[in-house]
Amino acid sequence: MNTSRVKFVLLFLVFAFAFLFGTTQLLDQAPESFLGSESQAAWKSVISTVLSPIKIVLIGPLLPYINFLHQDPDTPPPFFLAGFAVYWIILAFGIHFLLGKMKRA
């Protein structure tokens, strides 16, 4: 499977935003929380706990950025989306580079 870098990055962004939507909307979980909460149903808490390592990688480094933007209560959502996209593009380029290196080795 030889995907181009741009296609890989675009797919990574789509799946990362879908993951963020799934954990915040479907599992009733705040973006900053990594583990399940007591207010969730049992199955939602278990899924939140299982998905927490992925969420730590995708959102963990952005917590200072999220907290900074939450200082202003009227921060427009595009600022959050732009910050997530910039970090995830850098992360996707790094993953694509490492996968290419492993494939060549």
Entry pTM: 0.77
Cα 94 to Cα 22: distance, rounded to the nearest angstrom: 24
- Res 1 pLDDT > 60: no
- The pLDDT tens digits of the residues spanning 27-53 come to 777 666 666 666 677 777 778 788 888
The residue-averaged pLDDT of 6-30 equals 86
Q: Which domain holds residue 20?
A: 5-104
Mean pLDDT of 53-57: 84
Q: What is the pLDDT of residue 92?
A: 94
Report CA dihedral (74, 76, 82, 87) to the nearest 10 degrees: 30
Computed over every residue of the chain, the mean pLDDT equals 82
Counting the structural domains of the chain, the total is: 1
